Chains A and B, each alone.
Chain A
Amino acid sequence: MGSVSPSPAQEFDLTKLNPIYDAYKHVVNGALIPVLQAAQEAYGYLPEPVLEAIGEHLNVPISQIYGVVTFYAQFHLEPRGKHIIRTCQGTACHVRNASRILESLKNTLGVSPGGTTSDLQFTLETVACIGACSLAPVMMVDHDTHGRLKPDLVPKILDNYRN
């Protein structure tokens, strides 16, 4: 799906997991999800070698960890961009041409929803509603809301986030 392939194993500093293990060492069963959340915080996403290491440490089969990670939308197996774009596909935005905003985002970034740009700047996602219908069509970049969008405004907005 994404345009970025996961990095090879040797690039992951697995010692970053040690303080996470320490924080949950008193949990007999059920440490998996908080450990995964903390690991994702530390690495930005959950690469395979990190999951393998967690499985070994917690004595949970890697297949089960994969099941958990793919069940919850909060976990990501692929690198995420520095900035997360959530463009709204809800009813109000839809009737105000949200599809053209999405088209413009796809063209500007060169990725489909769920994808991350190869420079790891942006991850593009769609959402069903962000509760800002009066501003339709609307998108969020990180915690900023951008409303009353027009397709040709999109590249300029994104430029402000590039460094």
Chain B
Amino acid sequence: MSKTVTLTIDNQSVTVQAGVTIWGAARKIGINIPTLCHHFDVKPYSGCRVCVVEVQGARALAAACSFPVTDGLVVFTNSPKVREARRLVVELLLANHPHDCFTCARNQNCELQALAQSLGIKEIRFPQSKPTWPLDETSPSLVRDPNKCILCGRCVRFCSDKQTCSVYTFANRGFSSTVTPAFGKGLSEVKCTLCGQCSVICPTGAITVKDDTAKVLEAINDPDKVVVVQTAPATRVGLGEIFGNAPGSIVTGQMVTALKRIGFDRVLDTNFTADLTIMEEATEFLKRLGANKHMPMITSCSPGWINFMEMYYPDLIQHHSTCKSPQQMFGALAKTYYAQKEGLDPAKIVSVSIMPCTAKKFECRRPEMKSSGYQDVDYVLTTRELGQLIQSFGLSFNDLPSSDYDPIMGCGTGAGTIFGNTGGVMEAALRTAYEVVTKETLPALEFETIRGLGGLREAEIDLKGTKIKVAIAHGLGNARKVMDELKAGNPRGWNFIEVMACPGGCISGGGQPISHDINYRSKRIAALYTDDRNLPLRKSHDNPEVQALCKEFLGGEYGGHKSHELLHTPLKGHEH
């Protein structure tokens, strides 16, 4: 038992574990001390001074985000002195921040704007400084506007501490201080994996997702085009939050209806190709395991992870599965198989995907992703962009009826759904690998040992005599640990490894709605597992549409010639 501490906050007594900060203790009794630089995903930094509180007996105001509680501490979070200091800090920030909320991507979803509103700031007593920095639009996924940066350093800490990529730094001093990649370079000129987590943790509009909705609308409004859209597993658990639903709300049916109303011609499901990925990947895994070639095998669905591997561990690239991601398998099939089945001219198909991911915007543009003879996926919209699009169409999302996906590539199993969770791809693969190898039905589909949010999880699975050791890592810091172990000769003897670039997996990808709920990741994860449990089919090899594809189009086998032509890719280092 660790020690507990009792203190008084705003005349209320509260008992918490020793080591908790004033900020954490206050939350326990329903007091949300505002913060800008502090965020539950990163270590406290005490930079913005918005969270200042009065500690009885202390000489100066204290930063609640980093002040550890002690017995008998008496704290006031809203004394006149605190309120004045907090207001001054925010006023000074606003004097140095563009007042273009109307046209900002984070309008009504900006922590600075919300704070100014909640503090009741009606005027800014200081002259406003002029924007001085150019935008960085070099990245295919992200846009940086340093003028909107409040120097909170959340992105700096997330990128270095969680993702170990250290793309951002504080540079210069005093009034010239800025957050920037090294040498003031653009994001496309440094080793940025495009995971987009910085755009989620940024409290303002300083880092936003590159908006591709206009191009998609142009295609929808072009009568010559057939616009085919796919929706990634994690989108169904994120989108609802934009419309006020609690984290963990599944909104698949309303999402499909909304996409149809917006004018997408065919609404299909990436879960279909998630299932196909499992068939291809399980086949590849068993082949490689038998031949002991390029082992252990590592999953390749997460494009931020692929970028990380190419940038930081190019020598280990052969460990990747050659399977394309579900998005790219879908794209390759949309303009071949689907076009044939539906009698469509592939040149007229515009293939759009709704993704929880910012790196997908880059993935679809990779030169090797043209196996249909066209760019396989034309445009990627993030879940946040789709939310914005739905709002702009004036659709009352929560009142929409539920619709089903269109047939042929619209059927997905529960195994496909859980691709959105860390550990989900592995679990889906094991469900299929077990039944393929043992020719027996799995007694229980849930592989509980590999679920959860542990940074690096391991399990040994007995496929009736064939024991395989699996590992699951999420977040690039954990991925780096895995890669360093592989460099050291794989001492734990892993056979199969799942890596997702974003902590929590795709459910909290860089393109997902921004949540202020500390437990949002576990809530979204639990929801996808529930979605899986409620689906009639839960194993990828049971997907009838995937079976039909295999029979009619892939020559009756997975991992065969046609599969390699369309669904696999030789990973080559690309220029970053």
Instruction: Say which one of A19-27, A61-69, A104-112 lies at the interface with B.
Output: A61-69
Instruction: Say which one of B114-122, B169-177, B453-461 lies at the interface with A.
Output: B169-177
Q: Which residue of B lies closest to A52 (CB)?
A: B182
- CB neighbors of A among B246-263 (8 A): none
**A66 to B170 CA separation, bound complex (whole angstroms):** 9
Q: A62-B190, A64-B166, A71-B173 are in contact. List 19 more A-B contacts (CB 8 A).
A: A48-B183, A61-B166, A62-B182, A63-B160, A63-B169, A63-B181, A63-B182, A64-B160, A65-B182, A66-B171, A66-B180, A66-B182, A66-B183, A67-B170, A67-B171, A70-B171, A70-B172, A71-B171, A77-B183
Quick check: B169 and A67 within 8 Å, CB to CB? yes
- Chain A nearest Cβ from B315, distance in angstroms: 15
- Chain B nearest Cβ from A138, distance in angstroms: 26
- Chain A nearest Cβ from B463, distance in angstroms: 40
- CB neighbors of A among B152-188 (8 A): 160, 166-173, 180-183
Q: Which residue of A lies closest to B160 (CB)?
A: A61
- The interface residues of chain B lying within 8 Å CB-to-CB of A70 are 171-173
The one of B160, B169, B173 that contacts A66, using a Cβ cutoff of 8 Å? B169
**A46 to B169 CA separation, bound complex (whole angstroms):** 18
**Interface size (A, Cβ < 8 Å)?**
11
- Chain B nearest Cβ from A148, distance in angstroms: 33
- The interface residues of chain A lying within 8 Å CB-to-CB of B182 are 62-63, 65-66
Q: Which residue of B lies closest to A71 (CB)?
A: B173
Which residues of A are at the interface with B, using a C-beta cutoff of 8 A?
Answer: 48, 61-67, 70-71, 77
**A71 to B174 CA separation, bound complex (whole angstroms):** 9
**A65 to B180 CA separation, bound complex (whole angstroms):** 12
**A61 to B171 CA separation, bound complex (whole angstroms):** 14
**A66 to B179 CA separation, bound complex (whole angstroms):** 11
- Chain B nearest Cβ from A71, distance in angstroms: 6
- The interface residues of chain B lying within 8 Å CB-to-CB of A66 are 169, 171, 180, 182-183
- The interface residues of chain A lying within 8 Å CB-to-CB of B166 are 61-64
Q: Interface majority SS on B: helix, strand, loop or mixed? A: mixed
Q: A61-B160, A63-B166, A64-B166 in contact; A71/B172 too (CB < 8 A)?
A: yes
- Chain B nearest Cβ from A59, distance in angstroms: 11
Q: Which of B171, B172, B181, B182 lies at the interface centre, i.e. has the most chain A CB atoms within 10 A of its CB?
A: B182
- Chain B nearest Cβ from A112, distance in angstroms: 16
Interface range on chain B (Cβ under 8 Å from partner): 10 to 19
Q: Which residue of A lies closest to B184 (CB)?
A: A66
Quick check: B167 and A63 within 8 Å, CB to CB? yes
- The interface residues of chain B lying within 8 Å CB-to-CB of A48 are 183
- The interface residues of chain A lying within 8 Å CB-to-CB of B169 are 61, 63-64, 66-67
- The interface residues of chain B lying within 8 Å CB-to-CB of A63 are 160, 166-169, 181-182, 190
**A67 to B183 CA separation, bound complex (whole angstroms):** 9
- Chain A nearest Cβ from B56, distance in angstroms: 36
Q: Which residue of B lies closest to A67 (CB)?
A: B169
**A63 to B179 CA separation, bound complex (whole angstroms):** 10
- Chain B nearest Cβ from A33, distance in angstroms: 15
- The interface residues of chain B lying within 8 Å CB-to-CB of A62 are 166, 182, 190
- Chain B nearest Cβ from A52, distance in angstroms: 9
**A51 to B181 CA separation, bound complex (whole angstroms):** 14
Q: Which residue of B lies closest to A60 (CB)?
A: B166
- Chain B nearest Cβ from A114, distance in angstroms: 12
Q: Which residue of B lies closest to A69 (CB)?
A: B171
- Chain A nearest Cβ from B261, distance in angstroms: 44
**A23 to B160 CA separation, bound complex (whole angstroms):** 28
**A48 to B166 CA separation, bound complex (whole angstroms):** 17
Q: Which residue of A lies closest to B191 (CB)?
A: A62
Q: Top 3 closest A-B pairs, CB basis? A: A61-B166, A63-B169, A67-B169
**A61 to B182 CA separation, bound complex (whole angstroms):** 9
Can you show 9 pairs from A to B with CB atoms below 8 A apart? A61-B160, A61-B166, A62-B166, A63-B167, A63-B168, A66-B180, A66-B182, A71-B170, A77-B183
- The interface residues of chain A lying within 8 Å CB-to-CB of B180 are 66
Q: Which residue of A lies closest to B172 (CB)?
A: A70
- The interface residues of chain B lying within 8 Å CB-to-CB of A61 are 160, 166, 169
- The interface residues of chain A lying within 8 Å CB-to-CB of B160 are 61, 63-64
- The interface residues of chain A lying within 8 Å CB-to-CB of B173 are 70-71
- The interface residues of chain B lying within 8 Å CB-to-CB of A65 are 182
**A66 to B189 CA separation, bound complex (whole angstroms):** 15
- Chain B nearest Cβ from A76, distance in angstroms: 13
- Chain B nearest Cβ from A163, distance in angstroms: 33
**A71 to B169 CA separation, bound complex (whole angstroms):** 11
- Chain B nearest Cβ from A55, distance in angstroms: 9
**A9 to B190 CA separation, bound complex (whole angstroms):** 16
- The interface residues of chain B lying within 8 Å CB-to-CB of A77 are 183
- Chain B nearest Cβ from A26, distance in angstroms: 25
**A78 to B296 CA separation, bound complex (whole angstroms):** 46
**A22 to B103 CA separation, bound complex (whole angstroms):** 54
**A48 to B168 CA separation, bound complex (whole angstroms):** 16
**A65 to B167 CA separation, bound complex (whole angstroms):** 12
**A64 to B156 CA separation, bound complex (whole angstroms):** 10
**A77 to B171 CA separation, bound complex (whole angstroms):** 13
Q: Which residue of B lies closest to A63 (CB)?
A: B169
Q: Which of B169, B172, B180, B190 lies at the interface centre, i.e. has the most chain A CB atoms within 10 A of its CB?
A: B169
